[in-house]
Amino acid sequence: MGCDDPEPEQARSRDGAPLDLSMTISDAGPADLGILADVSNSDLGRAEDAALATDMTIFGDAGMLPPLPDCNAVHPPVVMAHGLLGSGDTWAKQVQRFAANGHCADRYYAFDWNSLDRSTDHAQNLDVFIDTVRARHETDAVDLVGHSAGGGLGYTYLSEADRAAKVRKYVHIGSFPNEGPAGPEGNPVPTLNLWSSADTVVEGMDIPGATNVELSDIDHYAVATSAVSFGEIYTFLYDDEPTVLEAASKSRSRLQGRLVSLGENTPQAGGAVEAWRLNPMTGARLEATRRFPVSEDGFWGPMAVDAEHYYEFVGRSAAEDDPIVRYFREPFKTDQFHAYVRTFPGPGSIAGVLTTLIPQSDDTSSVVIFNASRAFLAGEDSLTLDGVELLTEASASAENTSIALFLFDIDNDGQPGGQSPLFDMFPFLAAIDVPMPVEDGEFMTLNFNGRILHMPKAPGSEGILVAVFD
């Protein structure tokens, strides 16, 4: 892999052939510079009435945030770059685990970038981002983490001596091997190379001079999100083993996140995120809890969430004609600082071309199912919609590493069995032909290995339904 070209190696079709990214919009502005608001600033979570529409109320004491625990701010802040088609929520579980080990969650930063845009100098944007983090924490250096295409970006960034001097340690995850550690020739940055022999997207291997850790039975996405990966990352960064690998459950937690466009990660400034408490047996809305205007950098929250409640989060961009997205989440058992809601971009990019295929009609539902931890795998996992199995070799093979499944009437004929050649080009995504007629007052049931989510059989014109399994 060439260090000066991080994206193409990860942009491959299901059969391993490189994808043509020439369709990518060339003048997309960088969406990379947003810094997560200080999670200790509880005032952001108490601006209640000013942030609510007139038809919404705060449910119970949803505005009263639980306190953050005391934490360790000794170590350098960490900047983390996601991979192709990813976003900052790639790192959500790892930040929870760092916090569970006594580290300050507001010292872990997600660098959101448009991994499909080859016209932008992402390394320069990353440099600005790192300088902003360094200035905020008054530190000379940060630790840097890159997954997949983010790993190629990490090597590119560290190839220049002045940039490498700003990084104490580098973690290269599920990305292509190189001839040596990251950093300029003769002055390498201490590098952890974390890869899996079960990764079917990137063929990893040891890197001479790096600390190499080979994992097994972990897919391309799980190499970035799993507890076993966390243990290796923590030990490398801090020369000590973590005390715990999973955050303890809490009855009441803090939640905040970002509203960005799918794939492009463009902040949806001027948009809004609404939160609703749901009937856990049907997914029907019980009561509005909060409405947050989205900041210039796309951030929303924080808010308080209860562990026994199910929530829906509605993402609205500033453009009235853009589709509404309705996110249905499992109950939050601990603090979540990277709860992302994605809008659907227009047809000016590859991601936009894909999402414009999804109907927004009055008589059928359109559904996306996202696995936030790993890929769906046919034969080992079961994912049913109203009792019908969705996982097949076509939709969830090990080779495709399917993270997001798009369910809609592909042929607009009311019958299953159709295929989408455009979706078939991409790893991580799969389209399944599932006509879902709207039935007023009825609901659908998703069952992923015994974990249940309910959603209303609502028309696509009222929002694309997105189910998230953490």
pLDDT single digits (tens) 64-91 = 889 888 999 999 999 999 999 999 999 9
More confident residue, 247 or 7: 247
Name the pLDDT band for 39 (thresholds 50, 70, 90): very low
More confident residue, 406 or 351: 406
Would 8-30+67-238 and 252-469 be classified into the same CATH topology?
A: no
Residue 259 has a pLDDT of 98
Name the pLDDT band for 105 (thresholds 50, 70, 90): very high
Residue 321 has a pLDDT of 82
Domain 252-469 has CATH 2.60.40.2200: yes
Residue 348 has a pLDDT of 74
Lowest mean pLDDT across 3-12, 101-110, 262-271, 452-461 = 3-12
Residue 175 has a pLDDT of 98
pLDDT for 303 beyond 50: yes
**CA-CA distance, 310 to 3, in Å (whole number)?**
44
Q: Looking at the domain covering 8-30+67-238, what would its CATH class be?
A: alpha beta
pLDDT for 226 beyond 90: yes
What secondary structure, in 3-state letters, does the chain show?
A: CCCCCCCHHHCECCCCCECCCCCCCCCCCCCCCCCCCCCCCHHHHCCCHHHCCCCCCCCCCCCCCCCCCCCECCCCCEEEECCCCCCHHHHHHHHHHHHHCCECHHHEEEECCCCCCCCCCHHHHHHHHHHHHHHHHCCCCEEEEEECHHHHHHHHHHCCHHHHCCEEEEEEECCCCCCCCCCCCCCCCCEEEEEECCCCCCCCCCCCCCEEEEECCCCCCHHHHCHHHHHHHHHHHHCCCCCCCCCCCCCEEEEEEEEEECCCCCECCCCEEEEEEECCCCCCEEEEEEEEECCCCCEEEEEEEECCCEEEEEEECCCCCCCCEEEEECCCCCCEEEEEEEECCCCCCHHHHHHCCCCCCCCECCEEEEECCCCECECCECEEECCEECCCHHHHCCCCCECEEEEECCCCCCCCCCCCHHHHCCCCEEEEECCCECCCCCEEEEEECCEEEEEECCCHHHCEEEEEEC
The rounded percent of the chain whose pLDDT value lies above 70 is 87
Residue 407 has a pLDDT of 96
Q: pTM value?
A: 0.88
pLDDT for 372 beyond 50: yes
Residue 174 has a pLDDT of 98
**CA-CA distance, 429 to 86, in Å (whole number)?**
11
Contact 417, 390 (CB under 8 A): no
pLDDT for 307 beyond 70: yes
Please write the tens of the pLDDT for every residue from 417-427.
Answer: 898 888 888 88
For the chain, which residues make up each domain, given as ranges?
8-30+67-238, 252-469
pLDDT for 215 beyond 70: yes
Q: Mean pLDDT across the stretch 164-181?
A: 97
Residue 424 has a pLDDT of 84
Name the pLDDT band for 1 (thresholds 50, 70, 90): very low
Residue 403 has a pLDDT of 96
